[in-house]
Amino acid sequence: MKRNRSGSRKRRESIQVWTYDQTRRVLPYVASIMRSLREHCLEAQQHNLAAYRLGKRPGRPDRTAILAHTRATEEAKEAEERFHEALDELHTLDIYCLDPVAGLALIPFAKDDRLAWFVFDLFDESDAIRFWRFHQDPLEQRRPIAEALTGPPGNPTIV
């Protein structure tokens, strides 16, 4: 038998799984965080692009160009920090952002004792939670929410 000489153990993390009703109740808060994430991500991209363009101008930069480049870089960094703060807030709920610009997030739940995800779509006007997927499914996989709501009652914690 091999022993683990380094003393490290495989770490198991548990995540909170949500019921459909809990998910429905938290949707306004998740939507607010996702809007902030999207806004901060787009702002950071805008400032990064401005800094890139200012840095790529031909010729030797003058004082104004140097100051503008520095300011754009600092504003991009600040927007990225706000983005990460909002992302951390989402992660405290064990909800994970899939695409901040598209407004997609994944909310964990258990289906048939397997990890599954409600797919939150910020821009779906009819219903923000219309689809779900199993953890092993490809990211593009979308199943109708009605399938997730059928099955045995209970919602165990996934480890």
What residues does each domain of the chain span?
Answer: 20-149
Which pTM does this prediction carry? 0.81
pLDDT digits (tens, 9 = 90+) for 88-121: 999 999 999 999 999 999 999 999 889 999 999 9
Dihedral sign (CA 134, 140, 141, 144)? positive
Task: Quickly list H helices, the chain.
Answer: 20-55, 63-92, 145-149
Compute the distance between CA of residue 136 and CA of residue 142 in angstroms, rounded to an integer: 12
**pLDDT on residue 139:** 87
**pLDDT on residue 5:** 54
